[in-house]
Amino acid sequence: MPALGQSARATAPVVGELEIVAELPIRPALVTVDRSNRIFATVHWFDRAEPQLIEITGRREYRPWPSADWNRGFGAGPDTYDQPLGILVDGKDRVWTVDCGIFPTLADGLPPEPNRSPRILAFDAETGENVVNVTLPLDTNPIGTYPQDIAVDDENEIVYLADIGAGVRPPGIVMVNLKAGTARRFDGHPSLEPENVNLMVEGKTLVFPDGNGGFAPARIGINPITVSADNNTVFYGPMCGLGYYALDARPLRGGASDAEVAASIRRIANKPVCDGIATDAEGNHFLTNLGENSIDRIDADGVLTRLVQDDRLIWADGVRFGPDGWLYISVNQLNRSPLFSGGGEEGVPPYYIMRVNTGTQGLIGR
């Protein structure tokens, strides 16, 4: 019997072939897979009665991970999740997540300012032991900022966070050097900011409150983030934007000035409005295309093509490679959630964990 996420197929998988791995009653946020093909996902904060981080144990089954205690609820203590979102398994088989802080439930479903600072957490995938628990400093992450996606350089023990800022700070990249015990924020660069591009899903332009009692088209800056196979390049882009960028990680982690870091940034390709990005060992990038219900590919030459389109891919949120070379995808209808619907839940379960064969050499944790 194959393990979850593995196939008993007699023939080679077809590139671009999409498979359902799990059908869930709750909304998975981002997904990752460890070296044993165990699948983990964070859970969006709308489903507060459920665990905040889960292991997928069957096609329709899951359990709180690493324990029920860690999933006791918001503000229950330092050894509990508040709002984990970004997640990945690195090359050392550690499950990393960025915990965005505490958000009380509001009747309209919209998040107010949190009242606890974001944290970086890591766990041994095999034992569930908590091996990293770092609260981000206020100078890089004042309360209310929103670091929601994560990339890890496990060679240099450096964590990169994509922080949309949430109006408290400009969108930025937060770099945490775990060996040195330091953190740095790089923001104020145009590549991190949203472009004047609408976030359209299922043909509808999504909006946020404009602060004056009305609504305006959503404008979200840096969201997807990943690092190259050699750990020397950080790739990213704004969610509401069509530019895909590369930043030389060496000046950033070496303490160079913001001006020197900015000088290393290159626009390397066009991209769709997207949420998640994964990078393989060959320099290809796989992106969730929110407007087209698809997974797209940017090759090493910067050429954008379509890998797979499927009407079930309603808000493909996160993508990560597993050890089997497949690309795993969390699909959660986020556009139908209280965040975008104005307060009502319009999502229709099941929500999916899917996977697709890319035909390339995937990298676990990318």
pLDDT digits (tens, 9 = 90+) for 127-186: 999 999 999 999 999 877 899 999 999 999 999 999 998 888 999 999 999 999 999 999
- What pLDDT, in 10s, does the model give residues 218-232? 999 999 999 999 999
User: Are the beta carbons of 224 and 241 closer than 8 angstroms?
Assistant: no
Is residue 365 in a domain? no
- The mean pLDDT of 101-113, rounded to a whole number, is 54
Instruction: List, for residues 55-79, the tens digit of each pLDDT value.
Output: 999 999 999 999 999 998 766 677 8
pLDDT at position 200 over 80:
yes
Higher pLDDT, 215 or 193: 193
**156 in any annotated domain:** yes
Instruction: Tell me the mean pLDDT in the region 207-221.
Output: 87
Q: What CATH number corresponds to the domain at position 289? A: 2.120.10.30
> What's the rounded mean pLDDT across residues 180-194?
97
pLDDT for 225: 98
pLDDT at 298: 98
Question: pLDDT (tens digit, 9 = 90+) per residue, 242-251?
Answer: 999 999 999 9
Q: What is the mean pLDDT of residues 296-322?
A: 97
101 vs 149, more confident: 149
Closest CA to 74 of 103, 96, 98: 103
CA distances from 352 to 18, 30, 114, 318 (A): 12, 11, 28, 11
Query: 130-135 and 84-89 as β-strands: parallel, antiparallel, unpaired?
Result: unpaired
In-domain check, residue 332: yes
Total residues found in the chain within this entry: 366
Domain residues for 251? 18-357
Note whether residue 10 is domain-resident: no
Asked if pLDDT for residue 113 goes beyond 50, the answer is: no
Q: How many CA atoms lie within 13 A of 160 on its CB side?
A: 31
The single residue listed with the structure tokens 């319009």 is: 346
Task: Report if residue 28 sits inside a domain.
Answer: yes
Q: Looking at beta carbons, which pairs linking 259-262 to residues 24 or more positions away fall under 8 Å? A: 261/186, 262/189
* In a domain? residue 9: no
| Dihedral of alpha carbons 22, 34, 356, 324, sign | negative
Residue 232 CA to residue 254 CA, distance in Å, equals: 11
Q: Of 308 and 342, which is predicted with more confidence?
A: 308
CA separation for the pair 307, 125 (Å, rounded): 30
Residue 144's pLDDT is 79
**H-type helices in the chain, by residue range?**
249-253, 258-263, 338-341
CA 227 – CA 83 distance, rounded (Å): 24
Q: What does the alpha-carbon distance between residue 152 and residue 109 come to, in Å, rounded to a whole number?
A: 31
β pairing state of 222-227 and 215-217:
unpaired
Please name which of 268, 318, 247 lies closest in space to residue 89, comparing C-alpha atoms.
318
When pLDDT is averaged across residues 272-290 and rounded to a whole number, the result is 97
pLDDT of residue 209: 79
Residue 102 confidence (pLDDT) above 70: no
- Domains identified in the chain, total number: 1
What pLDDT is attached to residue 9? 57
**Is residue 27 assigned to a domain?**
yes
Q: Is 140 among the domain residues? A: yes
The mean of the pLDDT values for the chain is 91
